[in-house]
């Protein structure tokens, strides 16, 4: 009896220590006090950036209301859909039963138009969280809000609190934004002033770096894809909070609810204290300039200045805009400005780093998942990196050998208390991270600063994004005897086609990631793209392994910088299927997701809601087109494309009665190679519309290194043809383009005119395009069939 009691006490103690490893249970079995909310989602006109456009509101506002709970309550939230499209709400960062997680067709039924869905779950955590629609791009339209959960016992010292919900706003329809990204134009970069036309690249002496990028089929170092006319704090570009009194300590609960924008946050006045990240308390640290990735949350305690009002400012990561909130009254105490990132400079540094860019977003054989091979082949080159480590140390009067040995010793240190054998890799990676992330600390020992040679120079490019300032107040390690399951996910993407994936496999082409309950799953996220990806796992907290080892912080969203590697691990305490994805909405819907599955039976309540619907959303067809109307010709171009399949229609008509029209279907074998077949119509002889010949065509199209489009084909008269085209942006709004086509006819099928055993046909087009706006360009071109002329291009 005594033993049982002791065991029970021990068991309960253990339970409370490992709050994050408790399984979620449905229903209010413990009779917790019920806290109810009703949210109504509507479609209505809103004005967030100087224009009335349709938005989606919750209880009449963007963002929706703050849902306030106390730890230990039972949440009951009725969500009513007043729109004529389906919706859903996901509770971001909340530990809850799978069925109420709110990913439609995966864990929860969608909320159909006119219907209400009741979400309910026990609140067994505290902190700052948020909620948002998980249906298509609705979050961009306004379906998001904050959640604040007060702890059972208040441990932090502050007087008041304030939620700051960050977001980005577009006046375009989000689906049109995505369509625009899929078609791949430079317009958003032009509009944002982040385009890097050739004249600027050359003026900076960066043409070599540009060639290096082109060789790897990249236009440049991209930070953000989309132009936003406004960034918002609690729904506005400028917010005033005059009611705070001087000297008051205010806990700011900051949430990045933007669809695709990460921000730099800066504070005026006294340096604020960071107290919490992703809802979990961290060891308080004084910190001003702080990065907040999409979907992350951070809590700071600030002191209202004795005189004046302090500014809290967010600067979009790519420097394309800011928003401010002011706390207090009087003269502005400005927050430090964050300079605009130097994209060309980044490109130069990246070109100097030894890495292979352009890993495939679309594997030739998606059935064969080879993450380790992929990691070896692309990204930072491992052996070179090791050499560099040695080099770094030897500069400090040490032989590479001792340097290596020391690094090893350091490794053993941090290994203490870490579970399992496989930690070796984690810790090694981690010590390697330290090496490359903190070149300053190496050189600061005063010996030599030349360490920051060409190779190292790029290494500090992303150091400001590491999470080393986050330290959990308690150990976050799992018991040593728990088995560990290692998974490598390379983050992959194709900027020009706007396809995003993991290990070169978009969601639509893969199976679930199966994990086991009561095991630790350790995922290494290896970013092989030029963009940051804030990766989010539903329903769990994971450790983000950083220099704090056993005290690594727990998070629900982790930002992985370009070409960097981050390791996370979590204990499998749940059941069911959970979404794991990049939280940049446009990456999420383009395939950068996985279903993490405990492989438990599917909930029978989801019988009518097949998961294929969710997967299909990531593989939709997008259609776009362009019309040219010029003095010498008219043209039409239509493209409809999903991940692997594309339909093309193009027609050109010269006023001199020359015509060429072509329809083709193409299939992408991988990112760059596609096979196609179709029909071509053209008049063989000039100025004679009645002699149009129609041929069947088949061939291969290839997007080459240095970014040329190559088209090799044969028609049913067995005439081979080669076509090469390319465009360049030479000035901020001006692009030039050229196309060369050569067709040979050996008379294999039809007889050639008498006396000839070979005939050729050459087509040359050169031209320029000047971007007037998103949808209009001025164009001028010369074509050897149609002559020269100019006119207007319209994109739609």
Residues in touch with Cu ion (CB under 5 A): 533, 582, 584, 587
SS3 state of residue 457: helix
Instruction: Read off the tokens for 214.
Output: 């082109």
When the beta carbons of 407 and 558 are compared against Cu ion, the nearer one is: 558
Burial class (CB in 10 A: 0-12, 13-18, 19+), 467: buried
When the beta carbons of 333 and 489 are compared against Cu ion, the nearer one is: 489
Instruction: Provide the 8-state DSSP code for 84.
Output: S
Instruction: Read off the tokens for 669.
Output: 């074998």
When the beta carbons of 558 and 630 are compared against Cu ion, the nearer one is: 558
The minimum distance between CB 583 and Cu ion, in angstroms, equals 7
The minimum distance between CB 224 and Cu ion, in angstroms, equals 11
When the beta carbons of 166 and 584 are compared against Cu ion, the nearer one is: 584
The minimum distance between CB 556 and Cu ion, in angstroms, equals 16
SS3 state of residue 390: helix
When the beta carbons of 493 and 553 are compared against Cu ion, the nearer one is: 493
When the beta carbons of 182 and 587 are compared against Cu ion, the nearer one is: 587
β-pair partners for 666: 646, 676
When the beta carbons of 533 and 543 are compared against Cu ion, the nearer one is: 533
When the beta carbons of 252 and 535 are compared against Cu ion, the nearer one is: 535
When the beta carbons of 349 and 587 are compared against Cu ion, the nearer one is: 587
Q: Please report, for residues 514, 516, 568, 700, 724, the alpha-carbon distance to residue 420 in angstroms, rounded to integers and kept in the order given.
A: 20, 16, 15, 50, 55
The minimum distance between CB 115 and Cu ion, in angstroms, equals 32
When the beta carbons of 195 and 582 are compared against Cu ion, the nearer one is: 582
Q: Terminus-to-terminus CA distance in the chain, angstroms?
A: 77
Give the span between the Cα atoms of 692 and 60, in whole angstroms.
Answer: 60
Give the span between the Cα atoms of 512 and 520, in whole angstroms.
Answer: 17
The minimum distance between CB 560 and Cu ion, in angstroms, equals 9
Give the span between the Cα atoms of 384 and 184, in whole angstroms.
Answer: 34
The minimum distance between CB 425 and Cu ion, in angstroms, equals 24
When the beta carbons of 275 and 582 are compared against Cu ion, the nearer one is: 582
Task: For 504, list phi and psi in degrees, rounded to 5.
Answer: 75, 15
When the beta carbons of 111 and 585 are compared against Cu ion, the nearer one is: 585
The minimum distance between CB 582 and Cu ion, in angstroms, equals 3
Task: For 770, list phi and psi in degrees, rounded to 5.
Answer: -115, 120
Give the span between the Cα atoms of 146 and 163, in whole angstroms.
Answer: 8
The minimum distance between CB 535 and Cu ion, in angstroms, equals 8
Which phi-psi region, left, alpha or beta, contains residue 716 (left: φ > 0; alpha: ψ -120 to 50)?
A: alpha
Give the span between the Cα atoms of 534 and 346, in whole angstroms.
Answer: 20
SS3 state of residue 48: coil
CB atoms within 10 A of CB 47: 10
SS3 state of residue 8: helix
SS3 state of residue 413: helix
Q: What is the SS3 assignment for 238-301?
A: EEEECCCCCCCEEEEEEEECCCCCCEEEEECCCCCEEEEECCEEEEEEECCCEEECCCCEEEEE
The minimum distance between CB 500 and Cu ion, in angstroms, equals 6
The minimum distance between CB 587 and Cu ion, in angstroms, equals 3
Q: Are 283 and 267 in contact (CB under 8 A)?
A: no
When the beta carbons of 375 and 547 are compared against Cu ion, the nearer one is: 375
Burial class (CB in 10 A: 0-12, 13-18, 19+), 383: exposed
Instruction: Read off the tokens for 677.
Output: 């077949």
When the beta carbons of 520 and 582 are compared against Cu ion, the nearer one is: 582
The minimum distance between CB 499 and Cu ion, in angstroms, equals 12
Asked if the bond preceding 503 is cis, omega within 30° of 0, the reply is no
SS3 state of residue 83: coil
SS3 state of residue 416: coil
The minimum distance between CB 376 and Cu ion, in angstroms, equals 23
Alpha-carbon torsion angle 590, 592, 597, 602, nearest 10: -10
Would strands 709-715 and 720-731 be described as parallel, antiparallel, or unpaired? Answer: antiparallel
β-pair partners for 160: 250
Residues 6+ apart with CB under 8 A from 297: 93, 127, 128, 129, 130, 253, 254, 255, 256, 276, 277, 278, 279
The minimum distance between CB 671 and Cu ion, in angstroms, equals 17
When the beta carbons of 488 and 584 are compared against Cu ion, the nearer one is: 584
Q: What is the SS3 assignment for 137-148?
A: CHHHHCCEEEEE
When the beta carbons of 587 and 632 are compared against Cu ion, the nearer one is: 587
Of 193, 62, 211, nearest to 133 by C-alpha is 62
The minimum distance between CB 493 and Cu ion, in angstroms, equals 7
Residues 6+ apart with CB under 8 A from 507: 501, 591, 592, 593, 594, 595, 615, 618, 619
The minimum distance between CB 775 and Cu ion, in angstroms, equals 27
The minimum distance between CB 532 and Cu ion, in angstroms, equals 7
């Amino acid at each position: 009896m005594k033993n049982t009691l002791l065991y029970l006490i021990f068991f309960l103690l253990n339970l409370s220590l490992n709050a994050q490893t408790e399984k979620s249970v449905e229903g209010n079995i413990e009779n917790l006090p019920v806290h109810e909310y009703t949210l109504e989602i509507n479609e209505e006109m809103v004005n967030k950036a100087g224009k009335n456009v349709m938005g989606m509101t919750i209880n009449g506002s963007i963002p929706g209301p703050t849902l306030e709970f106390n730890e230990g309550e039972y949440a009951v939230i009725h969500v009513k859909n007043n729109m004529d499209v389906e919706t859903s709400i996901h509770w971001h960062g909340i530990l809850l039963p799978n069925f109420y997680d709110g990913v439609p067709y995966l864990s929860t039924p969608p909320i159909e138009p006119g219907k209400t869905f009741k979400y309910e779950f026990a609140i067994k955590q505290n902190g700052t969280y948020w909620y948002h629609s998980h249906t298509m791009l609705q979050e961009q339209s306004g379906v998001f809000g904050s959640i604040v959960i007060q702890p059972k016992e208040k441990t932090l010292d502050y007087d008041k609190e304030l939620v700051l919900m960050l977001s980005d706003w577009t006046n375009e329809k989000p689906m049109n934004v995505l369509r625009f990204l899929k078609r791949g134009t430079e317009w958003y970069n032009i509009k944002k002033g982040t385009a890097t036309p050739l004249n600027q690249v050359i003026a900076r002496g960066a043409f070599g770096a540009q060639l290096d990028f082109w060789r790897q089929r990249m236009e440049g170092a991209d930070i953000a894809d989309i132009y936003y006319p406004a960034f918002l704090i609690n729904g506005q570009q400028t917010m005033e909070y005059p009611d705070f009194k001087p000297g008051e300590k205010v806990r700011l609960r900051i949430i990045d609810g933007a669809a695709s924008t990460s921000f730099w946050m800066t504070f005026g006045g006294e340096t604020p204290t960071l107290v919490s990240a992703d809802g979990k308390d961290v060891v308080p640290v004084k910190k001003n300039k702080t990065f907040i990735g999409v979907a992350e949350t951070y809590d700071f305690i600030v002191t209202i200045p004795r005189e004046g009002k302090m500014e809290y400012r967010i600067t979009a990561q790519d420097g394309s805009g800011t928003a401010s909130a002011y706390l207090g009254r009087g003269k502005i105490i400005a927050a430090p400005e964050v300079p605009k990132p130097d994209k060309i400079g980044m490109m130069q540094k990246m070109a100097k780093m030894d890495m292979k860019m352009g890993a495939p977003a679309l594997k030739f054989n998606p059935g064969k998942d080879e993450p380790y091979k992929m990691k070896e082949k692309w990204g930072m080159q491992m052996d070179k990196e090791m050499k560099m480590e040695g080099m770094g140390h030897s500069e400090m009067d040490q032989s590479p050998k001792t340097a290596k040995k020391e690094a090893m010793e350091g490794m053993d240190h941090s290994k203490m208390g870490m579970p399992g054998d496989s930690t070796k890799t984690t810790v090694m990676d981690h010590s390697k991270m330290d090496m490359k992330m903190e070149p300053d600390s190496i050189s600061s020992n005063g010996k030599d600063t030349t360490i920051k040679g060409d190779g190292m120079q790029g290494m500090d490019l992303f150091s400001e994004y590491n999470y080393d300032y986050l330290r959990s107040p308690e150990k976050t390690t799992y018991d040593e005897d728990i088995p560990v399951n290692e998974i490598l996910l390379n983050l992959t993407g194709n900027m020009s086609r706007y396809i995003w994936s993991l290990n070169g496999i978009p969601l639509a082409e893969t199976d679930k990631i199966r994990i086991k309950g009561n095991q630790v799953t350790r995922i290494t996220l290896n970013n092989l793209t030029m963009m940051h990806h804030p990766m989010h796992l539903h329903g769990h907290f994971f450790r983000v392994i950083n220099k704090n080892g056993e005290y690594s912080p727990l998070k629900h969203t982790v930002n992985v910088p370009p070409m960097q590697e981050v390791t996370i691990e979590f204990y499998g305490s749940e059941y069911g299927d959970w979404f794991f994805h990049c939280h940049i909405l446009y990456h999420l819907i383009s395939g950068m997701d996985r279903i993490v599955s405990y492989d438990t039976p599917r909930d029978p309540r989801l019988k009518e809601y097949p998961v294929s619907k969710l997967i299909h959303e990531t593989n939709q067809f997008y259609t776009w087109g362009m019309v040219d109307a010029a003095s010498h010709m008219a043209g039409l171009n239509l493209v409809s494309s999903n991940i692997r399949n594309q339909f093309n229609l193009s027609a050109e008509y010269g006023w001199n009665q020359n015509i060429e029209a072509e329809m083709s279907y193409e299939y992408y074998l991988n990112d760059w190679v596609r096979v196609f077949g179709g029909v071509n119509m053209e008049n063989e002889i000039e100025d004679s519309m009645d002699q149009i010949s129609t041929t069947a065509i088949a061939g291969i199209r290839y997007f080459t290194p240095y970014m040329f489009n190559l088209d090799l084909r044969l028609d049913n008269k067995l005439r081979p043809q080669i076509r090469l085209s390319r465009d360049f942006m030479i000035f901020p709004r001006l692009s030039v383009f050229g196309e060369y086509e050569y067709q040979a006819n050996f008379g294999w099928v039809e007889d050639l005119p008498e006396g000839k055993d070979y005939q050729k046909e050459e087509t040359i087009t050169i031209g320029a395009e000047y971007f007037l706006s998103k949808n209009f360009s001025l164009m001028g071109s010369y074509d050897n069939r149609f002559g020269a002329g100019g006119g207007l291009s319209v994109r739609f």
